[in-house]
């Protein structure tokens, strides 16, 4: 293998570090860690109170320790049980006090618009805004960033002005992807953080609980309102053995996604344990936690390890590591010996091989050795059209250095990428360090184009002019691969893989190529890759890069700051409170007409598309015009077609608009795992904006069900999934039993639906609700924000 000059110069230092196990040096200054160090003393004190409430001798998992130590009142959340029969997981609602909130620029708009309605002078907890979603990949980092800043100026100005007014740290466009920035700057063992993005769990790589939520949930934390979470079940994943050859942490989570499916983690926290955990790098653990979102998990976490400690020191957070060391000695940052899990999955890392997942769903897992046969059996394209690495899932220094080792091998053999090869650094810290160490030069020398430090193609911000409307296959190291997600083309098949596999295959251009066994012909004879190698942390330390992107830590709120929203803007509008369906104390929803029955997979991408629509995230009226526009109608098997109010046919959004204009409430019937995918609260806001009152599902994805409740839409689950087909467009649907739930006279979770069909036939269908006491109030008041506002006015009266 041929090494670049900078890599050769660093080699002796790397060998010494690996041999002696010394901490990787950091060229970064030690940060002020006051606001980022978890309040361990308070958490341990609360945990002592928890143990007094729980049955004597209770053994807690790590996830439970972190959750329960953030309870506002342990007795209220955990008490009142019957001794050893106390059932908490999957039953109790926990009222929690999160430590921090992180928001990306697309979702931050609505989160802040909702926060503004609370009329508070500042945030109750530290918070940050990250400008990463609105930067479109087209030609390269510099030009893409310049153009995107110009196109999104009014949104960035709004976010920056709000950050200044309320004391929020504002990371400018170009600083990096929210999850990488959080891992490098804010994540800490034992912390509880909320983030307005479904891949917030990425920060779990540092032994914390990071949970993706909608903006209204974030407002709970920002206003010091108790944040409510139904106590998750805990799935334990025991790791044994060690990764070998081409296998990576990404392959572990790709393999696990295949085992659990996109619904297997719903209502659960995944907690990893066993001898295989401590051997993984901190950033490798973050990759695993990141894609826990793809199985529906609430979040993922790992016990505190030496690799986490080294990462904290390397990123200038030595004081956090020292505080965590002390907390770990007191038993806080690992599970109790003998703690029990609701399910245990054991994975032998020594037997793991690279996987490729897809197309169109992240849980269709195929081992690399079987991938060629999989493609040919399904008659999928075998010619690779593009290769993309980076994203919030795989853009660490370790990822980039291992990829560079593959590129160096290819370069020495005279090879260049046969397809467009796009590289997305996760942050300015990574970009600058990769440049310093010569890795960027190596990648560019074999044909790579380095994009801006932003989400880019991973979330649909990719201006791709070729292959429009054509069947084609791409390989990415991303986390999600739903139809049309990356380039807007429903026919683009995105196969998820490790950055190492993606890179190696780029030099072949043939998806039948297996880099672990096959050779590539060259003028000098067949060439075969050797397994990649790299550094977990940069041998000579990280380079901070352009510091102008970063905010000053813990800024003081400036209440006189004027929020930048133009009255004529098409991208931002002040949020008006929703009305309530329970005026006059009525306890049942008004009679509704069924708008449609949604068929099959319906993700938040289907409900509220991203891509070009991201520019309207702060303008509810405009973005609502995309509502369910790629959903399939089960009654006519068509996309974006519904029976309108007069019995004709129209698009789904226009049909909703007509119901709204008439003042007629409506409801939806939806399939399994409705709302899977991104933590996109617009997918709940938009139907509510158009007058949607109830959604009945075979099952819901966790974040989306909560988002619906927050916005005042009643989510119900069919008791018998077969009843899904018994409600059709234009049926009149009424609730029976909701009034007793609302007034507290019923402890049953059953609500009956009375369905009256146009023929006059009437049928009653059983459903169940999952409303907590507080969530009933959200419904009564029309939204969680309305309820928060009413309580605040009552307190100040």
Dihedral, 636, 638, 643, 649 alpha carbons, nearest 10: -120
Provide the b/e sequence for 663-684 (b: ≥16 CB within 10 Å).
Answer: ebbbbbbbbbbbbbbbbbbbbb
Distance of CA 568 to the CA centre of its chain: 32
Mean pLDDT of 534-555: 96
Q: What is the pLDDT of residue 11?
A: 30
Evaluate if residue 214 carries a pLDDT over 60. Answer: yes
DSSP 527: B
- Which ranges of 663-736 would DSSP assign to H, the alpha helix? 682-689, 702-710
Per-residue HEC secondary structure of 610-664 comes to CHHHHHHCECHHHHHHHCCCCCEECCCCEECCEECCCCCEECHHHHHHHHHHHCC
Q: Quote the DSSP letter at residue 563.
A: P
Buried b (16+ CB within 10 A) or exposed e, 600-614: ebbbbbbbbbbbebb
Please compute the mean of the pLDDT values over residues 202-219 and round it to a whole number. Answer: 95
Write phi, then psi, for 180 (nearest 5 degrees).
-70, -40
Whole-angstrom distance, CA of residue 607 vs CA of residue 596: 13
Predicted pLDDT at 446:
98
Rounded to the nearest 10 degrees, the angle between the axes of helix 784-796 and helix 215-222 is: 20
Of the candidates 321, 283, 322, 326, the one whose C-alpha atom is nearest the C-alpha of residue 302 is 283
The kind and range of the H/E element at 436 are helix 428-436
Main-chain dihedrals φ then ψ at residue 593, nearest 5 degrees: -100, 140
Q: What domains are there in the chain, each with its CATH number?
A: 353-547 (3.30.499.10), 592-796 (3.20.19.10)
Q: How far apart are CA 626 and CA 608, in angstroms?
A: 6
The set of long-range contacts for 373-379, using a CB threshold of 8 Å and a minimum separation of 24, is 375/511, 375/512, 376/512
User: Could you give the dihedral angle defined by the CA atoms of residues 164, 167, 168 and 169, in that order, rounded to the nearest 10 degrees?
Assistant: 80
Distances (CA, A) of 485 to 293, 465, 610, 664: 16, 15, 8, 33
Residue 518 dihedral angles phi and psi, to the nearest 5°: -95, 165
Percent of the chain whose pLDDT exceeds 90:
90
**Is the pLDDT reported for residue 5 higher than 50?**
no
**pLDDT: is 16 or 770 the higher one?**
770
Amino acid 26: pLDDT: 60
Instruction: Report pLDDT for 197.
Output: 94
- Across the chain, mean pLDDT equals 93
pLDDT computed for residue 13 by the predictor: 28
Contact 458, 677 (CB under 8 A): no
pLDDT-derived band of residue 522, with 50, 70 and 90 as boundaries?
A: very high
d(CA 490, CA 478): 17
Residues 6+ apart with CB under 8 A from 781: 580, 712, 787, 790
Query: 12: exposed, middle or buried (C-beta count within 10 Å: 0-12, 13-18, 19+)?
Result: exposed
Q: Report the range of poorest mean pLDDT among 301-315, 592-606, 672-686, 716-730.
A: 672-686
Taking residues 555-567, report their average pLDDT.
Answer: 96
- 39-43, 153-157, 758-762, 787-791: which has the minimum mean pLDDT? 787-791
% of the chain residues with pLDDT over 70: 96
User: How many angstroms separate the CA atoms of 617 and 575, rounded?
Assistant: 12
pLDDT digits (tens, 9 = 90+) for 377-415: 999 999 999 999 999 999 999 999 999 999 999 999 999
Give the integer Cα–Cα distance in Å for 446 and 412: 10
Q: Quick check: helix, strand or coil at residue 472?
A: strand
Confidence category of residue 665, pLDDT binned at 50, 70, 90: very high
The DSSP element (H or E) to which 440 belongs, if any, is helix 439-445
Question: Using an 8 Å Cβ cutoff, are 244 and 266 in contact?
Answer: no
- What pLDDT score does 797 carry? 65
DSSP classification of residue 763: E
**Which pLDDT does position 119 carry in this prediction?**
86
**146: Cβ–Cβ under 8 A, 6 or more apart, which residues?**
none
Cβ 503 vs Cβ 387: under 8 Å: yes
What is the reported pLDDT for 165? 98
Neighbours of 652 (CB within 10 A): 24
Question: Please, which residues have CB within 8 angstroms of residue 189's CB and are 6 or more apart in sequence?
Answer: 38, 206, 207, 208, 304, 308, 320, 324, 327, 328, 333
Whether the per-residue pLDDT at 14 is higher than 70: the answer is no
Question: Is residue 603 within 8 Å of 628, Cβ to Cβ?
Answer: no
Catalytic residues, which ones?
132-133, 197, 480, 678, 680
pLDDT tops 60 at residue 2:
no
Distance CA 63, CA 334 (A): 9
CB 234 within 8 Å of CB 269: yes
Beta strands in 552-655 (DSSP E): 592-599, 632-633, 638-639, 642-643, 649-650
pLDDT tens digits, one per residue of 83-131: 444 689 999 999 999 999 999 999 999 999 999 988 899 999 999 999 9
Q: Is the model's pLDDT at 338 over the cut of 90?
A: yes
CA distances from 439 to 81, 387, 443 (A): 58, 18, 6
User: 3-state DSSP helix/strand/coil percent for the chain, to nearest 5?
Assistant: 35, 20, 45
Q: Identify the band that residue 21 occupies on the pLDDT scale cut at 50, 70 and 90.
A: very low
- CA dist., res. 15 & res. 10, Å (int): 9
The pTM score is: 0.89
Q: Report whether pLDDT(81) > 70.
A: no
pLDDT tens string 578-621: 999 998 767 899 999 999 999 999 999 999 998 889 899 999 99
Residue 705: Cβ-neighbour burial (10 angstroms; 0-12, 13-18, 19+):
buried
Structure tokens at 187: 């994540």
CA–centroid distance for 776 within its chain: 27
- Average pLDDT (522-543) is 96
């Amino acid at each position: 293998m041929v090494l670049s000059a900078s890599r050769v110069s660093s080699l002796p230092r790397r060998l010494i570090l690996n041999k002696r196990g010394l901490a990787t040096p950091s060229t970064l200054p030690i940060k002020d860690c006051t606001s980022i160090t978890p309040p361990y003393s308070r958490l341990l004190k609360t945990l002592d109170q928890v143990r007094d409430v729980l049955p004597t001798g209770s053994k807690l998992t790590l996830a439970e320790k972190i959750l329960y130590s953030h309870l506002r009142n342990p007795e209220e959340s955990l008490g009142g049980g019957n001794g050893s029969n106390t059932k908490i997981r999957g039953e109790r609602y926990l009222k929690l006090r999160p430590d921090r909130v992180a928001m990306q620029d697309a979702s931050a708009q609505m989160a802040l618009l909702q926060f503004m309605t609370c009329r508070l002078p500042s945030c109750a907890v530290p918070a940050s805004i990250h400008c990463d979603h609105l930067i479109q990949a087209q030609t390269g980092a510099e030009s893409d960033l310049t153009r995107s800043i110009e196109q999104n100026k009014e949104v960035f100005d709004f976010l920056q002005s709000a950050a200044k007014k309320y004391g929020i740290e504002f990371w400018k466009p170009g600083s990096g992807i929210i999850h990488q920035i959080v891992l490098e700057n804010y994540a800490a063992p034992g912390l509880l953080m909320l983030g307005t993005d479904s891949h917030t769990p990425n920060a779990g790589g540092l032994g914390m609980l990071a949970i993706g939520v909608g903006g209204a949930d974030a407002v709970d934390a920002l206003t010091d309102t108790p944040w409510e979470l139904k106590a998750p079940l805990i799935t334990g994943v025991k790791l044994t053995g060690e990764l070998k050859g081409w296998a990576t942490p990404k392959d572990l989570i790709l393999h696990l996604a295949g085992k659990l499916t996109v619904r297997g983690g719903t209502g659960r926290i995944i907690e990893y344990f066993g001898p295989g955990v401590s051997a993984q790098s901190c950033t490798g653990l973050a990759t695993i936690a990141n894609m826990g979102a793809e199985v529906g998990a609430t979040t993922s976490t790992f016990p505190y390890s030496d690799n986490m400690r080294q990462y904290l020191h390397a990123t200038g957070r030595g004081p956090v590591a020292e505080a965590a060391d002390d907390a770990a000695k007191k038993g806080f940052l690992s599970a109790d010996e003998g703690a029990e899990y609701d399910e245990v999955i054991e994975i032998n890392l020594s037997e793991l091989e690279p996987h490729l997942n897809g197309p169109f769903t992240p849980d269709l897992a195929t081992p690399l050795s079987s991938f060629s046969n999989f493609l040919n059996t399904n008659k999928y394209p075998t010619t690779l059209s593009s290769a993309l690495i980076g994203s919030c899932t795989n853009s660490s220094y370790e990822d980039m250095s291992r990829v560079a080792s593959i590129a160096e091998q290819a370069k020495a053999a005279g090879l260049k990428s046969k397809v467009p090869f796009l590289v997305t650094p996760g942050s300015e810290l990574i970009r600058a360090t990769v440049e310093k160490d010569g890795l960027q030069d190596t990648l560019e020398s074999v044909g790579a184009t380095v994009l801006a430090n932003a989400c880019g193609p991973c979330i649909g911000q990719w201006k791709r002019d070729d292959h429009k409307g054509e069947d084609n296959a791409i390989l990415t190291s991303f986390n999600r691969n739903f139809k049309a997600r990356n380039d807007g083309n429903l026919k683009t098949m995105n196969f998820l893989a490790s950055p190492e596999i993606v890179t190696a295959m780029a030099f072949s251009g043939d998806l039948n190529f297996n880099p672990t066994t096959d050779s590539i012909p060259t003028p000098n004879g067949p060439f075969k890759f050797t397994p990649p190698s790299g550094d977990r942390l940069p041998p000579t330390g990280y380079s901070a890069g352009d510091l102008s992107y970063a905010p000053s830590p813990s800024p003081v709120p400036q209440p006189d700051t004027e929020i930048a929203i133009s009255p004529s803007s098409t991208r931002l509008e002040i949020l008006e409170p929703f009305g309530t369906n329970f005026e006059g104390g009525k306890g049942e929803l008004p009679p509704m007409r069924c708008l449609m029955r949604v068929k099959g997979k319906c993700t938040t991408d289907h409900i509220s598309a991203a891509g070009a629509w991201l520019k309207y995230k702060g303008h509810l009226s405009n973005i609502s015009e995309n509502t369910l526009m790629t959903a399939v109608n089960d009654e006519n098997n068509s996309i974006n077609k519904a029976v309108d109010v007069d019995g004709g046919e129209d698009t789904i959004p226009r049909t909703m608009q007509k119901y709204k204009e008439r003042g007629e409430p409506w409801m939806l019937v939806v399939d399994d795992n409705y709302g899977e995918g991104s933590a996109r609260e617009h997918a709940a806001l938009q139907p509510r904006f158009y007058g949607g009152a109830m959604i009945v599902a075979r099952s819901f994805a966790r974040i989306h069900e909560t988002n619906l409740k927050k916005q005042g839409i009643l989510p119900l689950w069919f008791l018998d999934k077969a009843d899904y087909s018994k409600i059709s467009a234009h049926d009149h649907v009424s609730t029976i039993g909701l009034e007793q739930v609302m007034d507290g006279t019923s402890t049953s979770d059953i609500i009956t639906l009375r369905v009256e069909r146009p023929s006059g036939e009437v049928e009653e269908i059983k459903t169940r609700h999952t409303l907590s006491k507080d969530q009933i109030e959200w419904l009564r008041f029309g939204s969680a924000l309305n309820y928060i506002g009413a309580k605040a006015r009552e307190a100040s009266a």
